[in-house]
Amino acid sequence: MRRKVARILLITIPLLALFLLPPGSFATVDISPLCEKHGIKGEDLTRLKGLYGEVVESGVSEEELYRFFDDIISYGLDCRQLSRVLEKTLRLKKEGLPYRPVFRKVREGMAKGVPPGKVVDVTLTWGKLLEEAAGVVRALEEKGFSVSDREGAVILVAGYLSRGYLPDEIVERVVTRGVKYAGFSGLEAFLGQGGQR
Amino acid sequence: MRRKCTRYEGLMERYLTGEILPDERDDLEKHLSLCPDCSRVYRDISGVECALRTFPGKMVDPPPYLKTRILASIEGERKSLWAFLTRTVTAFAAILAIFLIMAVYGYLTRPSSPPSPPVAGEKAETGTKEVKIFFYFPDARTVSITGDFTNWDPKGLPMKKTGKKGLWEIDLKVKPGVYSYNFIIDGRLLVPDPQAPEQTPDGFGGMNSILLVPKGDVS
Amino acid sequence: MSFDDDVRIVKRVRRGDRESFALLVEKYERPIFSFIYHFFNDYALAEDLTQEVFLRSYRFIRTYDTKQKFSTWLFTIARNLCIDEMRKREKERTLPIDEVRGGNIENPSSRNPEDIAEALSDSAFLKRLIAKLPERYRTALLLFYFHEMSYEEISSVMGISMANTKIILFRAKKMLSDLYRKGE
């Protein structure tokens, strides 16, 4: 009898979990062994797995994400840092913005031997700049400029923002002076002069 | 100024610096009122003095990447000093690790430039473009390039030696986009390409060079 | 005291703290670059030589006498490099004396050629004139008027007496006015 109950439970619990747990549990590859290997367990692990699953759910390729996750956890990012990177990825993806620049920024920091905490801080700042830059590109589109390569334009604008330009300032300069003469070299390769002006 | 006026030159100088003795001052002032040549010289020099004091561009901003370049060359210096101990005096000559990039060729920032760029060729079937990058660094045993296009692979893509001494090159096949990159010297030191058309702070305290690869000539 | 700070930083660099050297670069990059730029009136060359100045200062940091001001020492290196570069250039192409002395500088048409101060307020013109001065006059002039150095500091950079510094400064101004008059 007991065995029977146990067997039923064994089948039903995962089934129930499938419906009740956050979408995170849909990830096909389990990251638990990887996390445990790096000392992440218990509640932390559950939360991380949830987040990871959500990122997969949002449409980031699982293969790509797993490889990235493996690399960064091996580099020494702790649970909190991993969560922050995943959250940022999720947010960008949900907003329809390129998330790969975030992955690349993390890898860049790793290649440059930067400590994990700093890697994450810089990456999140970069992520924020990307969001702001997307706003700038959108604003320019609304003003009638055509975008030939959105990701390129966003990354380029994020670069200008990192140099201290303000979003409004960029829009204003491009609108009043035209893409070519706004003083943002390279932008004209990704942004066309629209109907305005 | 006539020859006999030469001695007033010294007086004028001390007059201008306020170090003249009272007697000398009287002498000079009297002379200036009498000698039109000397008085003109005096006026000219005061004019020059004034122009120099009010010159607007006394300080000139160096290019933003110069600091990185300097620090990178010092890094190179440390290596060379070590090499100096183990190898020969010639290492010193090699310390002149002045970065020169020949080009990230061509039309990259200008889609409207004349047709058929010299180096970059489009491969329509794969949607990638070929870009040739040069880097001048004589003091390196190996140079590779890494960046967004290699996912910042710590090893990077090895660059080849060209015929010219100290000049390295690579052909990259990349999709249109914006890429940050660095060179890796001797598998260890990451430096930006100081002559790249665009530079941006990497956020980690260094600089990245920017490679722009626009999509084909879509207007 | 910024003087003390420099010495403290230098001591750290000597102990092998390379990061501290970045502070010195940060602080003196602009003045050194400006000096070399005005010395040759050549931006690209100023880049290369500024780099070389810092490279040398790093290499020879142990020879710096901490009783001296660090900036003075750095400018001494910069000046020496400028002189080397100048000799190299002179060897490569010997200019006719007249051109060295500034015979053919086109003078911007000024309303009142008598008023030298007004004519020289065209800074591009003045810059070209300065770059034509013989080395020691140019150096002294730049250090005094552009870098606000004292006679004492200049005499230390140039290795001459204070009295000589004053004479050179005076002559430099005289030469500038002569160059101007000649180019008229």
Convert the pLDDT of each residue in B151-165 to its tens digit: 898 889 999 988 777
What is the rounded distance in angstroms from the CA atom of residue A97 to the CA atom of residue C132? Answer: 56
User: Which of B107, B108, B131, B151 should be substituted to probe chain A, the one whose Cβ sees the most A Cβ atoms within 10 Å?
Assistant: B151
C2 and C85 co-located in one domain: yes
Residues of B in contact with A110 (CB under 8 A): 152, 154
d(CA C123, CA B58): 10
Q: Mark whether C84 and C128 lie in a shared domain.
A: no
> Residues C108, C131: one domain?
yes
Residue B164 has what pLDDT? 79
Q: What's the average model confidence in pLDDT over A139-168?
A: 87
Q: Are residues C11 and C39 in the same domain?
A: yes
Cα separation of B50 and B37, whole Å?
A: 20
DSSP helix/strand/coil, B158: strand
Indicate contact of B with C: 3+ CB pairs under 8 A.
yes
- pLDDT tier, C105 (very low <50, low <70, confident <90, very high otherwise): very low
Q: pLDDT tens digit string along B107-135?
A: 333 333 332 232 344 444 357 888 888 88
C99 domain residue, yes or no = no
A57/A158 Cα distance (integer angstroms): 27
For residues C19 and C89, state if they share a domain. Answer: yes
Q: CA–CA distance from B151 to each of A60, A71, A109, B72 (Å)?
A: 16, 12, 11, 23
d(CA C62, CA C145): 30
Closest CA to B80 of B70, B71, B90, B68: B90
| Angstroms from B47 CA to nearest CA on chain A | 38
Report the pLDDT averaged over residues B190-204.
77
Distance (Å, rounded) from C-alpha A170 to C-alpha C121? 35
- How many Cα atoms occupy the beta-carbon half-sphere of B11 within 13 Å? 20
Is residue B72 helix, strand or coil?
A: helix
Residue A18, pLDDT above cutoff 50:
no
| End-to-end Cα distance, chain C | 47
Stretch C167-183: mean pLDDT, rounded? 88
The ipTM is: 0.83
Average pLDDT, chain C: 83
Task: Provide the token pair at B56.
Answer: 């607007």
Q: Do B145 and B174 form a contact (C-beta atoms < 8 A)?
A: no
Q: Which of A112, A129, A156, A157 to mutate to test the interface with B (most CBs of B within 10 A)?
A: A112
Q: How confident is the model at residue C10 (pLDDT cuts 50, 70, 90)?
A: very high
Structure tokens at A97: 């913005």
B128 CB near a chain A CB, below 8 Å? no
In chain B the first and final C-alpha atoms are separated, in Å, by 68
Claim to verify: residue C86 and residue C111 sit in the same structural domain = no
Residue A154 has a pLDDT of: 92
Q: What is the per-residue pLDDT across C117-145, written as a single tens digit (0 to 9) for each?
A: 777 877 788 888 998 899 999 999 999 99
Residue A105, token pair as written in the block = 């920024």
Contact B48/C116, CB-based, under 8 Å? yes
The count of structural domains within chain C is 2
- Which residue is closest to B151 within chain A, CA to CA? A104
C88 in the same domain as C7: yes
CB B146 within 8 A of CB B154: yes
Chains B and A touch (3+ CB pairs under 8 A): yes
Q: Considering the domain boundaries, does residue C164 fall inside one?
A: yes
Give the residue numbers spanning the domain of C112: 104-184
Assess if residue C79 is contained within a domain: yes
Q: What are A's interface residues with B at a Cβ cutoff of 8 A?
A: 101, 103-105, 107-112, 114, 118-119, 122, 125-126, 148-149, 151-152, 155-156, 159, 162-163, 185-186, 188-190, 192
Give the three-class secondary structure for C147: coil
CATH number at residue C158: 1.10.10.10
Query: Final residue of a domain: which of C47, C63, C94?
Result: C94
Residue C17 located in a structural domain: yes
Per-residue confidence (pLDDT) for residue A13, from 0 to 100: 57
